[in-house]
Chain A
Amino acid sequence: MSAHSTYQPTNPVMKWFESRLPIAGLIHSSFIAYPTPRNLNYWWTFGGILTFVLGVQIVTGIILVMHYTPHDTLAFRSVEHIMRDVNYGWMLRYIHANGASMFFIAVYVHMFRGLYYGSYKAPREVLWILGVIIYVLMMATAFMGYVLPWGQMSYWGAVVITNFFSAIPIVGESITTWLWGGYAVGNPTLQRFFSLHYLLPFAIAGVVVLHVWALHVVGQNNPTGVEAKSSQDTVPFTPYATVKDGFLMVVFCVFFAWFVFYIPNYLGHADNYNPANPGATPAHIVPEWYFLPFYAILRAIPDKLLGVIAMFSAVVILAFAPWLDTSRVRSANYRPLYKQFFWVFVIVCVLLGWLGSKPAEGGYVIAARILTFWYFAHFLIILPVLGLIEKPLPLPNSIADSVLKKPASGAPVAAGAASPEKRG
Chain B
Amino acid sequence: MISTLRLLPMALGAACLIAATAPAYTAEQIAPPRQSWSFSGPFGMFDRAQLQRGLKVYREVCQACHGLTYVAFRNLAAPGGPGFSSAQAAAIAAEYQIKDGPNDAGEMYERAGRLADRFPSPFANEAQARSANNGIAPPDLSLITKARTYERGFPWFVLDIFTQYQEQGVDYLTALMNGYEDAPAGFTQPPGTAYNRYFPGHAIAMQKPLSDGQVEYSDGTPATVDNYARDVAAFLAWAAEPHMETRKRIGFQVMIFLIVLSGMMYFVKKRVWSSVH
Closest residue of chain A to B150 (Cβ to Cβ) is A270
Cβ contact of A367, chosen from B15, B148, B164, cutoff 8 A: B15
Is A90 an interface position by the 8 A CB rule?
yes
Cβ contact of B243, chosen from A90, A235, A258, A265, cutoff 8 A: A90
Q: Are A271 and B147 in contact (CB under 8 A)?
A: yes
The residues of A that contact B148 with a CB separation of less than 8 Å are 270
Is B101 an interface position by the 8 A CB rule?
no
Closest residue of chain A to B253 (Cβ to Cβ) is A261
Question: In the complex, what's the smallest C-beta–C-beta distance from B74 to chain A, in angstroms?
Answer: 10
| Residues of B2-29 whose CB lies within 8 A of A | 5, 8-9, 11-12, 14-16, 18-23, 25-27
A37 to B162, CA, bound (A): 36
Contact status of A239 and B254, CB under 8 A, knowing A270-B148, A273-B143, A358-B22: no
Is B262 an interface position by the 8 A CB rule?
yes
Cβ contact of B42, chosen from A38, A83, A262, A364, cutoff 8 A: A262
Is B273 an interface position by the 8 A CB rule?
yes
The residues of A that contact B248 with a CB separation of less than 8 Å are 261-262
| Residues of B160-208 whose CB lies within 8 A of A | 160-161, 164, 166, 168-169, 200
Is A309 an interface position by the 8 A CB rule?
no
Residue of A83, A273, A371, A389 with most partner-chain B CB within 10 A: A273
Q: Are B166 and A344 in contact (CB under 8 A)?
A: no
A364 to B15, CA, bound (A): 9
Q: Are A265 and B166 in contact (CB under 8 A)?
A: yes
Closest residue of chain A to B142 (Cβ to Cβ) is A80
Is A9 an interface position by the 8 A CB rule?
no
The residues of A that contact B252 with a CB separation of less than 8 Å are 261
Residue of A243, A246, A354, A371 with most partner-chain B CB within 10 A: A243
Is A340 an interface position by the 8 A CB rule?
yes
Cβ contact of B247, chosen from A90, A250, A354, cutoff 8 A: A90
Number of A-B pairs, beta carbon distance below 8 Å: 145
Contact status of A243 and B258, CB under 8 A, knowing A84-B242, A266-B160: no
A271 to B26, CA, bound (A): 18
Number of B residues with CB within 8 Å of any CB on chain A: 59
Q: Mark A315-348, 1 if CB is under 8 A from B, else 0.
A: 0000000000000000000000100100010011
Question: In the complex, what's the smallest C-beta–C-beta distance from B171 to chain A, in angstroms?
Answer: 12
The residues of A that contact B11 with a CB separation of less than 8 Å are 370, 374
Residues of B participating in the A interface, judged by any CB pair closer than 8 Å: 1, 5, 8-9, 11-12, 14-16, 18-23, 25-27, 42, 70, 72, 75, 139, 142-143, 146-149, 154, 160-161, 164, 166, 168-169, 200, 240, 242-243, 247-248, 250-252, 254-255, 258-259, 261-262, 265-266, 268-269, 272-273, 276-277
Per CB-CB distance, the 3 closest pairs between chain A and chain B, nearest first, are A261-B251, A363-B22, A273-B147
Q: List 19 A-B contacts (CB under 8 A).
A: A84-B243, A239-B272, A244-B273, A246-B269, A251-B262, A254-B259, A254-B262, A261-B247, A263-B166, A270-B149, A271-B147, A347-B12, A348-B12, A359-B25, A361-B23, A363-B22, A363-B23, A366-B15, A418-B277
For the complex with contacts A265-B146, A274-B147, 18 further pairs of A-B residues with Cβ separation under 8 Å are: A84-B242, A90-B243, A94-B247, A260-B251, A263-B166, A265-B166, A270-B146, A270-B147, A273-B143, A273-B147, A283-B27, A337-B1, A347-B12, A351-B12, A361-B22, A370-B14, A370-B15, A389-B1
